[in-house]
Copies of this chain bind each other. A is one copy, B any other.
């Protein structure tokens, strides 16, 4: 693949050996390559965290912003230049913790971006505190008596928000993940892909083994367009964890609205002076 992968980055990667993030990186590259995207037309947007380092590890444009704040710049980037393919690579803390409010409203806006959440159920970069998806009872230095808050269920949440594309994957299955990312990119509107990603350094509960025993692919009979059924499916988490496209729906995208209004500004362009002058008469 290396030769035909224009997204390959030559520098050093600072993730821990064995980290699921490497697999997600491969999946992203694969998805983009299979769609024949050029690095110069892709923007990877991220916040802060291990997941959020991904834009530095691919040859593509990148906006590596603030912890929890990947979605707002992604909106700004994409709405202004709708020819770009915009992916957000974020963590469970970044996206569901610090950034939760933006997720709610980004889905409502339905701009055409694909959000890839490296869900390792822990804060990796800051060395092992609980994240919004950590299991109840998990002991960490900041939860010495165990996590007490109910884990956030991103799939149920996204279905309640009527997100156009909602999927879950497991990082170890690179091809499967790549295919979901590809579908997410192809979806018009907001796509959320939550990826189970082992953190070998800090999450001693949700390990490769733990996920491998539980993750199963939805079969072909599963209908992701039935919202209530999808919601029911989203509640499945325990001995069995479904992966695949869990929910799909369609509605007008933000991009389409701008197109309809004819709003498409160009870089380095001047405002029309005669129009500007005509404003004077209103005062």
Contact = CB atoms under 8 A, between A and B. Distances in A.
Interface of A: 96-101, 104-105, 107-110, 132, 145, 148-153, 156-157, 159-162, 227-228, 231-232, 234-235, 251-252, 254, 257, 261
Contacts of A98: 101
B150 A104 contact: no
Contact of A150 (B108, B153, B156, B261): B108
B150 A162 contact: yes
7 contacts: A105-B132, A105-B149, A107-B150, A148-B254, A148-B257, A227-B235, A231-B231
Nearest to A99: B101
Contacts of A232: 228
Copies held by the complex = 2
Given A100-B101, A104-B100, A108-B132, A156 B148 contact: no
A194 to B, nearest CB: 14
Contacts of A257: 145, 148
A235 B228 CA distance: 9
A67 to B, nearest CB: 13
Contacts of A252: 148
Contact of A145 (B105, B157, B261): B261
A163 to B, nearest CB: 10
B261 A149 contact: no
Tell me what chain A mostly uses at the interface: helix, strand, loop, or mixed. Answer: helix
Contacts of A254: 148
Contacts of A159: 160
A122 B96 CA distance: 26
Nearest to A252: B148
A153 B161 CA distance: 7
A144 to B, nearest CB: 10
Given A132-B105, A145-B261, A156 B152 contact: no
Contact of A160 (B105, B109, B145, B160): B160
Contacts of A162: 150, 153
A101 B160 CA distance: 16
A251 B99 CA distance: 26
A160 B149 contact: no
Nearest to A162: B150
A160 B150 contact: no
B161 A157 contact: yes
Given A132-B105, A231-B231, A153 B160 contact: yes
Nearest to A158: B160
A138 B243 CA distance: 38
A101 to B, nearest CB: 4
A246 to B, nearest CB: 13
